[in-house]
Amino acid sequence: MPNKYQTLNTDNLKAVAFDWDNTLALSREALVRSVNVVLAVFGLGDWENVKEKRDPNLSFRDNFPLIFGKKADDAYDLYRQVYMQKVNDLIKAPQCASEVLQYLLHKDIKIVLVTNKDRQLLEYELPMLYKKEWFNRIVCGHEAPLDKPNPEQLIYALDGLVPEISEDSVWMVGDSSMDSDCALSCDAKAIRIGDPVWDTKHEEEANDKITFFNDFSDFFRAIKG
């Protein structure tokens, strides 16, 4: 179990990268409701019927061809429309997440957003929860050479912001193995908050290279010491 009384040393910390969905944004309900609308339109039941088809190493968007086949582009276009209609009433920020971001800003630690979500959706919902100017850089899906869990997305996001990536200087905060795998593969510190939005049966949760927290409140206490 995560130890909510642990502390993290920020003396040499230069940048913190955050995932978006189910990390800075609690958006799973909007996502599932929206994709269920699309699945019904295409006669595929609901998410419970098709979720086993997904590849856990691909983003939600990049799983559409596995689920919808040749109709993936049409399905995703419809999904985007439905999601933007539903998300306003369903999305929220985790308790204490804003306080964490403001604390990092006060410490002059750079904040980057690294998400596989497409830019149109991210730009639509970000202002609902946070000020865009809090983020030194935002990298969305298909903007880096490769998306998470590959390290290229994090490396791309940090280019020119930090002199080097190390466990002391860069943290990657997320909810899933996609985030921690991305961090560990380029020597950043992997921090996990809460439970993953999707099943991660392939992962060994006892990985001692990952620092786990129950929620942002515990994370905030850890970085304040």
pTM: 0.92
Model pLDDT for residues 21-34, shown as the tens digit of each residue = 999 999 999 999 99
CATH architecture of 15-26+92-224: 3-Layer(aba) Sandwich (3.40)
Cross-strand partners of 110: 15
- 113 Cβ neighbours under 8 A, 6+ residues apart: 17, 18, 20, 24, 122, 135, 137, 138, 139, 157
Query: Alpha helix (H) ranges present in the chain?
Result: 28-41, 47-50, 64-68, 72-90, 97-106, 119-129, 152-158, 177-184, 216-224
Whether 216 shows a pLDDT value over 70: the answer reads yes
List beta partners, residue 18: 113, 173
Could you give the percent of the chain with pLDDT greater than 90? 81
